[in-house]
Amino acid sequence: MSASHSAILLISCPDQKGLVSAVTRFIFEQGGNILQLDQHVDAEASAFFMRVEWDLAGFVLEREAIGTAFDLTIARRFGMAWSLHFSDDVPRMALFVSKQSHCLYDILGRVQSGEWKVQIPLMISNHDTLRPVAESFGIPFHVFKITPDNKAEQEAAQIALLKQHKVDLVVLARYMQIVTGALISEFHNRVINIHHSFLPAFAGAKPYHAAYARGVKLIGATSHYVTEELDAGPIIAQDVLAVNHRDSVADLVRKGQDVEKLVLAEAVWSHLNNRVLVYNNKTVVF
Amino acid sequence: MSASHSAILLISCPDQKGLVSAVTRFIFEQGGNILQLDQHVDAEASAFFMRVEWDLAGFVLEREAIGTAFDLTIARRFGMAWSLHFSDDVPRMALFVSKQSHCLYDILGRVQSGEWKVQIPLMISNHDTLRPVAESFGIPFHVFKITPDNKAEQEAAQIALLKQHKVDLVVLARYMQIVTGALISEFHNRVINIHHSFLPAFAGAKPYHAAYARGVKLIGATSHYVTEELDAGPIIAQDVLAVNHRDSVADLVRKGQDVEKLVLAEAVWSHLNNRVLVYNNKTVVF
Amino acid sequence: MSASHSAILLISCPDQKGLVSAVTRFIFEQGGNILQLDQHVDAEASAFFMRVEWDLAGFVLEREAIGTAFDLTIARRFGMAWSLHFSDDVPRMALFVSKQSHCLYDILGRVQSGEWKVQIPLMISNHDTLRPVAESFGIPFHVFKITPDNKAEQEAAQIALLKQHKVDLVVLARYMQIVTGALISEFHNRVINIHHSFLPAFAGAKPYHAAYARGVKLIGATSHYVTEELDAGPIIAQDVLAVNHRDSVADLVRKGQDVEKLVLAEAVWSHLNNRVLVYNNKTVVF
Amino acid sequence: MSASHSAILLISCPDQKGLVSAVTRFIFEQGGNILQLDQHVDAEASAFFMRVEWDLAGFVLEREAIGTAFDLTIARRFGMAWSLHFSDDVPRMALFVSKQSHCLYDILGRVQSGEWKVQIPLMISNHDTLRPVAESFGIPFHVFKITPDNKAEQEAAQIALLKQHKVDLVVLARYMQIVTGALISEFHNRVINIHHSFLPAFAGAKPYHAAYARGVKLIGATSHYVTEELDAGPIIAQDVLAVNHRDSVADLVRKGQDVEKLVLAEAVWSHLNNRVLVYNNKTVVF
């Protein structure tokens, strides 16, 4: 639970003594009351991760000064990588879709009802199919038809559009195109995909057909940050549901949509709430 | 739920009209009351599967005559493969183990408490480690040390022992050896293994290490009939549980044991109750 | 899985010998190929339930004649209650809502995408809040403000409207009013509600507050047919999700919405596909 | 994950600024490296909870001095309730059983295999039924036949025996007697029970019969600290599994045993690892 105005620090660094003490003392001395603190030590990698959120009411430092003060007094000393966020920031999220609408409706419903505090300045698709949905929610809809010949060019245009709209996060809500390195590196650890299988099982195309052929008793979905290697990025959330011999491929597709939309929503929620840290192609989700 | 004395028919054949009608009429005309009927049509494979269980109270045909009568009047006409079972049969099950005891205790507890009606005439292992457990439950324990050189010979001796004890079902309860074609073909679709991952993800050795390295958010277990191809046999049961960044490999191993033992128990229970049919390297579990 | 044109019979009667045989023989003799058959015997209640679906391709009897023929030749003989449905029927469903939109968006998304084959001729609410959602989906929206004084009168008007639109099924998609006996008896076992707890725990108002106060580690949702006794009707579907000490009441409300919408969707899907039979205030869901 | 030798502090107090800073500074200044830190603020109750575990390697203070030093320098200042534990302590656990063995085998298997580091100096029962199990595991087994007349007296004798064996934790592993206030107050928040329903649904006797009668689609189990009010103590762990119309009461009992044993094991594990704090009849499980 967040206070109406709170600050969030995400920190990672080599593990060493005194880390939590130093960070919490910094917050305390400036008059901050900690609302939530999570830390994790990966003993094998000797790595330290922390998320701390504190109430800004009564905090002495001005928002603009917090980062500099923290960097100078704490972060440099311990060799920390860090980022600072505020709970009342409203991130800007772009949605990429193709023809299927289940993840899209799920996300738009959450935004419209106020469950998620987020701006959606634009949607991007390679098809015109979902334009009416975008329009009924009042969201500008841009179609970029992708062919092998124009892919690089179209993606460059997409990136320009995303930057023009100051997009913070790109969500591939069943976007059936592979995005390439240009977009991925521009939005490093800020492109979230939903894959319709329990990765690493059934990576690539047609996972429900593959699951049916193998006769698995569970199907799943995996939401991950997109990296250059297909379906191999850091996993943020996964879930499964039970199926059986009665389920045809069409049944798997239908049932799987419910897992897909919930898993994607969980991953995006964690990201929007600044709960995710990435290292070694894995995630810490606080 | 079974009556105290019931008969169970498992049937598979090409799909065609009149199958359920013919089978149920046969049972009805002999005075049988159907307790449970399950059927499945795989439209793609044009294959029909059925399990029907009926109360033997008031059934006119004697047990010994049922199979012959069914074969002559129904099965041949439709080209059915079938097997007949009785709920008061007590199957004979051999347990293969190595050093880990969690699946073993789980199974022995179920047998000892009467939850499962099954005889365990023997246990087989490649190590002496679990002999005290076997002895405290009064089960003969046979050690076959396996080396690359003696593997074929030792397995031949195991098969002889299994046949001598009239074993119906072989359960690999975390037996860390690969069993070979001789045993598999002798006990076709009657060797059940538990693999400690959500297959087809992480087949082969050290699946928890692989799951940790990949950073998955769920770990799983898969119980399947053993076939010549490693970890690729027909899946009977699967389940998963949630894990997170806090879990070391040792935690995954510990937590995974609970899924392993429940998934193996579910698969063995289904087999013991004559609920499993195999086709196309998949299972129908009624 | 349904064929494009299939017939479905739902049957219940006292258990007796020959039931499945008689029904399947009827279908076979008219040239029907059974796609799916489920039966259930409640041994304690000595009651028999069956759902059978067959392909109408090649079926000799005309649709209009099936019910009469079945009734005369089979149903009367065995004292069966039965209903006949066709997979290409498109049911007409009314949605009742209040202010919360999560179940509504979920249902509308399923209808719009073609996942559900159903008509929604109207929505009814006691508030104007969700009118824009209805309008963006092109569904007529009727507001009936309810006060203790006008409740009977307003519900009579609602019933008239539902009958005028030939509504088959009423779905209370987080409609925060208690519907009364008049509507319930007019739509017997055709009013589906979603209650935001794992019934019978936390019946009545504010279940998430009650769950928080009790400190449960799971929260749930229950979809049931509405009966005169509040939150006590036959349960069609239930599910839960894990929560912990970190979750405030607001968190429970937010997380619970996902379970609510999926459980309601599962219940409505089962009803729309003619999979639910009711007896003894319980359901058989085939 | 614990280091081989670590210290654990459990703390609760009114929420105020500087708590985490003070505690972590104390650990840091004595040379401790924090392995895991969890804190929770209940904003409504204005209460603070913390669990911190640090490596004792390099820690300057001797074990015996830690508590006093912490109390004098930190705890008194903030009005903290606290307890100090060491990861290499081996708790002493008594098991109370009646006639059912599934939880018992599950626990004994975990202890025997080394999964749990715990001593079981004795078992107590009101029946002789499970004596052979106790004996095969080498655990002294004491029978206290309970009648309405001798209940107080027998429980006094049980308490004496528990104290004589220096028991830290009492686990009611399907002990079908209600324990009374004398034992509960002697072992405050140290008596763990498993109830075979999803509490608060179906408290009291015969929960599976009640679940069957209500027609629920999930059955559950709840592990909680025992308090004077029956089945109303602080919940530590809960889980459920799906059931359907096919399941008789006997099936619910059989299937429920798997949930019972896993939920009880999870609760005991959390307690043994000093992860549970109790307040307002609820638990914080870190």
What is the domain partition of chain B in residue ranges?
A: 6-86, 93-285
Determine the pLDDT at residue A3. 57
Residues in chain D with CB shorter than 8 Å from the CB of C216 are: 199-200, 235, 238
Q: Is the complex ipTM higher than 0.90?
A: yes
Average pLDDT score, chain B: 96
Catalytic residue among A231, A239, A247, A251: A231
- Position B205 scores a pLDDT of 93
pTM above 0.95, yes or no: yes
Query: A247 an active-site residue?
Result: no
CA distance D170 to D226: 10
C6 vs C3: CA distance, rounded Å: 6
Give CA–CA dist B67/B54, Å, rounded: 14
Mean pLDDT calculated for residue range B151-170: 97
Q: Which of B179, C119, D23, D264 is nearest to A25 (CA)?
A: D23
Query: Using the beta-carbon criterion (under 8 Å), do A238 and B220 form an inter-chain contact?
Result: no
With vertex at residue D21, the alpha carbon angle to CA D15 and CA D27, rounded to the nearest 5 degrees, is 120
Sorted by sequence, the CB contacts under 8 Å of residue B87 that are 6+ apart come out as B2, B3, B4, B5, B6, B7, B8, B53
Q: Is there a contact between A199 and B216 if contact means CB atoms under 8 Å apart?
A: yes
- Tell me what the pLDDT averaged over chain A comes to: 96
- Chain A hits for B218, Cβ within 8 Å: 198, 220, 238-240
* Average pLDDT estimate for A103-127: 97
Q: Which CATH class is domain C6-86?
A: alpha beta
| Residue in the block written with tokens 């289904």 | B270
Indicate which residue of B88, B231, B239, B258 is catalytic: B231
Taking one residue from A and the other from B, the number of pairs with CB-CB distance under 8 angstroms is 85
With 90 as the cut, is the pLDDT of residue D276 above it? yes
CA atoms within 13 A on the CB side of D34: 29
D188 band by pLDDT with thresholds 50, 70 and 90: very high
Look at residue D180 in the predicted model and tell me its pLDDT.
87
- pLDDT of amino acid C1: 43
pLDDT band, residue A25 (cuts 50/70/90): very high
* Mean local confidence (pLDDT), A37-47: 95
Catalytic residue among C55, C106, C168, C231: C231
Which of A198, A245, A282 minimises the CB distance to B285?
A: A245
Q: Is B120 left (phi over 0), alpha (psi -120 to 50) or beta?
A: beta
Residue B3 is predicted with a pLDDT of 57
Q: What is the dihedral of CA A164, A168, A171, A176, to 10 degrees?
A: 40
Write out chain B residues lying below 8 Å of C20, CB-based: 20, 24, 28, 34, 37
- Beta carbons of D285 and D275 less than 8 angstroms apart: yes
Residue pLDDT, tens place only, B224-278: 999 999 999 999 999 999 999 999 999 999 999 999 999 999 999 999 999 999 9
| Length reported for chain C | 286
Query: Which tokens is A113 given?
Result: 């009802």
Give contacts of D265 with chain B, Cβ < 8 Å: 258
Q: What are the Cα distances from residue A102, in Å, to A206, A260, C109, C116, C251?
A: 17, 9, 7, 12, 24
Residue tagged 């008969």 (tokens): B7
Write down the mean pLDDT value for chain D: 96
**Residue contact A20–D38, C-beta within 8 A:** no
What is the C-alpha separation between C198 and C192, in angstroms, rounded?
16
Please name the residue that has the structure tokens 């500099």: A68
Residues of D recognised as catalytic: 231
Lowest mean pLDDT among A180-184, C85-89, D37-41, D215-219: A180-184
Q: What is the pLDDT of residue D3?
A: 56
Which residues in chain A have Cβ-Cβ distances shorter than 8 Å to D40?
Answer: 36
What single-letter DSSP state applies at residue A79? Answer: T
pLDDT for residue A1 is more than 90: no
Closest Cα in chain C, distance from residue B79 (Å): 17
pLDDT of the residue at B1: 43
Sorted by sequence, the CB contacts under 8 Å of residue D185 that are 6+ apart come out as none
Two tokens, residue A51: 């998320």
- The percentage of residues in chain C with a pLDDT greater than 70, rounded to a whole number, is 99
What is the secondary structure of B254-269 as a DSSP string? HHHHHHHHHHHHHHHH
- Choose, out of A42, A194, A223, A245, the residue to mutate when testing the contact with B (most B CBs < 10 Å): A245
Q: For chain C, give the longest Cα–Cα distance.
A: 63
CB contact under 8 A, A280 and B198: no
Domain made up of A93-285: CATH architecture: 3-Layer(aba) Sandwich (3.40)
What number is the average pLDDT over the span B79-94?
A: 98
**Pair type for strands B276-279 and D141-143:** unpaired
Checking D248-255 for CB contacts under 8 A at 24+ apart, the result is: D248/B1, D248/C43, D248/C44, D248/D212, D249/D208, D249/D209, D249/D212, D250/B1, D251/B1, D252/D208, D252/D211, D252/D212, D252/D219, D253/D208, D254/B115, D255/D219
Task: Kindly state the average pLDDT of the residues C102-131.
Answer: 97
Q: Would you place residue C4 in the very low, low, confident or very high pLDDT band (cuts 50, 70, 90)?
A: confident
Task: Point out the residue among C105, C246, C254 whose CB comes nearest to the CB of A109.
Answer: C105
How many CB pairs (< 8 A) connect A and D?
A: 56
First to last CA, chain D: 13
Nearest CA-CA partner of D129 in D163, D86, D84, D98: D98
pLDDT of residue D172: 98
Expressed in angstroms, the distance from the first to the final Cα of chain B is 13
Confidence tier at D58 by pLDDT (50, 70, 90): very high
